């Protein structure tokens, strides 16, 4: 039974599943209650895109440098600096 707002008065109806905003597939209501609006597969893809990778590169006759961009890593340890 709906009230005037167009929503079910009990909150989340057990037969209505939330829909992923990325792919449009339905996913578990418990995941929506946890605050997610993506299905598990799309959530993993999004997390991998947002993950930051880094490495430590030793500089010639200097210290170690933290590198977060792969393009910066190319030619950086060529006895004198950045070579492209």
Q: Is 73 buried (19+), middle (13-18) or exposed (0-12) by CB count in 10 A?
A: middle
Give the helix/strand (H/E) hosting 58. Answer: strand 55-58
pLDDT at 55: 82
- Given a cut of 90, whether residue 75 has pLDDT beyond it is no
pLDDT at 12: 54
d(CA 26, CA 68): 36
- Between residues 2 and 27, the one the model is more confident about: 27
User: pTM for this structure?
Assistant: 0.46
> pLDDT by residue (tens digit) across 29-65?
999 999 999 999 999 998 888 877 778 887 777 788 8
What sign for the dihedral angle of Cα 68, 72, 76, 81? negative
Domain coordinates in residue numbering, the chain: 15-50, 52-84
pLDDT at 16: 79
């Amino acid at each position: 039974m709906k009230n005037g707002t167009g929503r079910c008065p009990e909150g989340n109806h057990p037969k209505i599943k939330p829909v992923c905003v990325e792919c449009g597939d339905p996913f578990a209501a418990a995941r929506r209650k946890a605050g997610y609006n993506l299905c598990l597969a799309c959530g993993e893809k999004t997390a991998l895109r947002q993950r930051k990778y880094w490495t430590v590169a030793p500089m010639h006759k200097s210290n170690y440098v933290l590198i977060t961009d792969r393009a910066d890593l190319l030619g950086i340890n060529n006895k004198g600096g950045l070579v492209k």
